[in-house]
Amino acid sequence: MVQPSITDETITTLANCLGRVRQNIALFNGRFPNSGNGTTYTLNDNVNWLAAFWPGLLWLSDAVSNDPIFRETAVSLLPTFYTRLDTQTHITHDLGFLYSLSARAQWQQTGDDAAAQLALVAAAQLWKRYRRPGHYIQAWGPVGDAEKGGLIIADTMMNLPLLFWASEQTGDDRYHEAAYHHAQNSRQFLIREDGSSFHTYFFNQETGEPLKGSTHQGFAEDSCWARGHAWLIYGFALAAQWCDDPQFLEAAKQTAVFFLNNLPADNIPLWDFRLSHDELAYRDSSAAAIAACGLLRIAAITGDETFRAQGNLLIDALIHECLETNPAGQGLLKHGALHIPKGWAPDDYLIFGDYFFLEALLTRKNKNPDFWGPTKKE
């Protein structure tokens, strides 16, 4: 039997994913998917860190489709992102995810200047979380919070592109500077010598003194949470594109090598690379999707075909191990792990896993509109 080529498989998968996104538009009906519950998504209002991955999926779909329904639906969701800033609903470091994939994406795909202005307002709010003397972005809680004022987390690396972009658009260097110093601190304190990573790190918020690494979603303080690690790979690859500093590319490569060296035989990571309990051995497809995007980005920066091949290997593993094939299923990828210590969605769809999977497929086909990197000049 003639085996389908990888290219055929990517094209078929892409077409199926677009069909599923299209089908979900009516089912989600203006609400925001979070994580799976069997073959459906639980839906929410625009109230948490996950809200922009659905518009992000619509904008990715818009980039490769002539069907106006994707863009019309994404545009119809943007008013909730204005409201969210007006009402200050759950404002954290995640403003980067939230406004890169909604407002910036809309500006990029349609030229809507009002959307760009909204993304700039969000960037200004994110900048307010930049803490000195430590020079980091505070992840959670009110700025200066007694418990969380000194906390950084790996995930924030993916929120920095909104700050870099704001400097690119306005010429105001303060955003770039904050993102640059945060990335330097993340490189120095989150990445361990062996290339593994802490999920979180605490500074003394009064003096800026580095205190200790820890975890929030990982198995243990000295373990390595797979998705946090994937955020670092992709986040440092993006920082390398935005900043003239070779240390960021080195950090992206070092974390990528650790990730690849610690994959199981099926190439889908367990949710933590240092688990000691078999009964918790859930896989996290979202970590593989994010890491695939990071590896393809490293390859694009360096021209290193090894990283491209490894990124494609992860995409193939996701297609073979995790792709939803049930026509009634709403998710693109099965087997995501949201928050194992809290028992949330341990083996389910995750909307960000779907987003980064589609982004990886588009990148493989040279069709990624890129809502994270420097703006492409026409």
**Footprint of ligand GLY (CB under 6 A):** 49, 155, 217, 227
Q: How far is the CB of 57 from ligand GLY (least distance, A)?
A: 17
Shortest Cβ contact with ligand GLY: which residue?
Answer: 155
Nearest to 188 by CA among 251, 139, 243, 234: 251
Q: How far is the CB of 84 from ligand GLY (least distance, A)?
A: 17
Q: Using CA atoms, how far apart are residues 290 and 227, in angstroms rounded to an integer?
A: 8
Contact 233, 259 (CB under 8 A): yes
Q: Using CA atoms, how far apart are residues 250 and 240, in angstroms rounded to an integer?
A: 9
CA 191, distance to chain mean position in Å, is 18
Question: 49 or 136, CB closer to ligand GLY?
Answer: 49
Question: 184 or 217, CB closer to ligand GLY?
Answer: 217
Question: 107 or 259, CB closer to ligand GLY?
Answer: 259
Q: Using CA atoms, how far apart are residues 86 and 237, in angstroms rounded to an integer?
A: 32
Question: 70 or 219, CB closer to ligand GLY?
Answer: 219
Q: How far is the CB of 140 from ligand GLY (least distance, A)?
A: 10
One of 155, 284, 354, 370 is an active-site residue; which one?
155
Q: How far is the CB of 114 from ligand GLY (least distance, A)?
A: 28
One of 8, 67, 94, 354 is an active-site residue; which one?
94
Q: How far is the CB of 116 from ligand GLY (least distance, A)?
A: 25
CA 10, distance to chain mean position in Å, is 21
Say if residue 193 is exposed, middle or buried (CB neighbours under 10 Å; 0-12, 13-18, 19+).
exposed
Q: Using CA atoms, how far apart are residues 206 and 10, in angstroms rounded to an integer?
A: 51
Question: 187 or 199, CB closer to ligand GLY?
Answer: 199
Give the N- to C-terminal CA distance of the chain in Å, as an integer: 45
Q: Is 94 a catalytic residue?
A: yes
Q: Using CA atoms, how far apart are residues 242 and 229, in angstroms rounded to an integer?
A: 20
Structure tokens at 192: 């361990």
Residues with active-site annotation: 94, 155
